Every structure is written in C-alpha cells, then in structure tokens.
Amino acid sequence: MAKIILFGAPGSGKGTLASRIVEVESNIVHISTGDIFRENISKKTPLGLKAKGFTDKGELVPDELVIDMVRERMEREDVKENGFILDGFPRTLPQAQKLGEFASADVVLLLDVPKDILLKRILGRYSCPNCGQIYNKWLNKPKKEDICDKCGKKMEITQRADDNEETVKRRIEVYEENSAPILKFYEDLGLLKRVDSINTLELSGQEIKRLISPVK
C-alpha cells in the first residue's frame, strides 16, 4: 500500500502523474483538494460557497476549511485499506504539520518544472467532462480532436474557471511564497524525492513503481 504526497506548482503535472500512478496501483485513492473544491463549488454546497471567493482569485482557501475537509476524507475506509495520493495538499506549513497528526506519507514527490513551462501547460489545459482525463491544446491533444482517448466519448472542451492568465500568475506566486518551508519540512523528515516531471507521461509502469517506493 502506497501513501504518496504530490508537491509542485500549478501546472507541474500533479494530476497527470496521479492518473499514471492510479494505473499502476489500481485501488489507491486519489485525493485532489482542487477537485473537491470544484465539485463543492459546482454543487453550491456551504463549503463550495465559502471556497469560491478564494479559488476565483487564485488565493488559498483558509487552512481550517481545507484541513477539516482533508482529514474527513482521509479517515474513510478506502484510504485506510488502499493508501492515498494527496494532490494539492499540503500547500502551507500548518497544513503539513496538521497532516502529520492524522496520516503519514511514505514519500513526497516534488515535481520541479520551470516557470515558462507552467504557464503554457495551464493556459492550454482542458479536461474531458465525462472521465476527467486531462489534455492540453498545444502539448497533448487527444488523437481525434473531439473524442476522448480514455473513455471514447465526444467532448465539449471545458476549461477551469481559474485557468486564466491573471489567476494563473497569482497561483504560481502563491506557490512560490509557501513552498520553501514545506519542502524543508519533508526534506528534514527524509521523505522528499525530486521528479523530472517534464516526461512523466512517458514513464513505464516499472519506473512509476520505483518512483513511488518509500524513501526509507
């Protein structure tokens, strides 16, 4: 059972790597805080209504909202049985410290990508509304323009509300403001592994296995 944290700037490819890991570790639970917020926002839940003002501007949702949400998700049976991939959490040092109180990871994968590539990835990014598969209009199109490679359904292109240039720049700034202490925290725990994430789509199953194996 693997317990993995994915860490990296917006556009560094956390979601894409997560879907590769799910192919190798079939029952592992992918927990994307961004996805959970987007779902709550589209359903207009109380949590969604509180979060929207922050996500729309590219600001972080306050720690107490995020931490309770993640804790609740991590306490479910499927996570206990099959492990987890945390994608988008922790994003602040207090989140990392709190997480340590209710879950322990085997490995923290740092996706380190140059800033110019981040922008191109995010601004071109879209996903299949049916299965969530991620594409990029410049870098990674489906084989047939409007048919999803993964689920075979016809796709209307849906871009995220916060994938516009102004918000993206702010999200990258927010990452730069918060990431150093989190990386130090995990480096000190001996959990940090750097990933050359330019080509994670090309990694073989074997290579993914090696990547997610515990550091110690």
Interface residues toward ligand ADP, by CB under 6 A: 10, 33-34, 37, 54-55, 58-61, 66, 88-89, 91, 95, 171
User: Which are the contacts of 99, defined by CB distance < 8 A and separation ≥ 6?
Assistant: 67, 70, 86, 89, 90, 105
Q: Catalytic amino acids? A: 14, 91, 125, 160, 171
In whole angstroms, how close is the CB of 186 to ligand ADP at the nearest point? 15
160 burial class (0-12, 13-18, 19+ CB within 10 angstroms)?
Answer: middle
Which of ligand ADP, Zn ion, none lies near 166, with the C-beta cut-off 5 to 8 A by kind? Answer: none
In whole angstroms, how close is the CB of 87 to ligand ADP at the nearest point? 7
Q: Distance between CA 36 and CA 68 in Å, rounded?
A: 13
Amino acid present at 61 = V
User: What string marks each residue from 116 to 155 as x (binds Zn ion by CB under 5 A) or -?
Assistant: ------------x-xx-x--------------x-xx----
User: Which are the contacts of 182, defined by CB distance < 8 A and separation ≥ 6?
Assistant: 7, 90, 91, 92, 93, 96
**Given the complex with Zn ion, which of 57 and 150 has the nearer CB atom?**
150
Which of Zn ion, ligand ADP, none lies near 73, with the C-beta cut-off 5 to 8 A by kind? Answer: none
Which of Zn ion, ligand ADP, none lies near 91, with the C-beta cut-off 5 to 8 A by kind? Answer: ligand ADP
Q: Which tokens is 112 given?
A: 């380190």
Which of Zn ion, ligand ADP, none lies near 171, with the C-beta cut-off 5 to 8 A by kind? Answer: ligand ADP
55 belongs to the binding site for Zn ion (CB under 5 A): no
Closest CA to 173 of 87, 188, 165: 165
In whole angstroms, how close is the CB of 42 to Zn ion at the nearest point? 18
Computed over its alpha carbons, how large is the radius of gyration of the chain? 17
Q: Which tokens is 105 given?
A: 């990871």
The kind and range of the H/E element at 7 are strand 2-8
**Given the complex with ligand ADP, which of 146 and 176 has the nearer CB atom?**
176
**Given the complex with ligand ADP, which of 39 and 81 has the nearer CB atom?**
39
In whole angstroms, how close is the CB of 41 to ligand ADP at the nearest point? 9
Q: Distance between CA 206 and CA 203 in Å, rounded?
A: 8
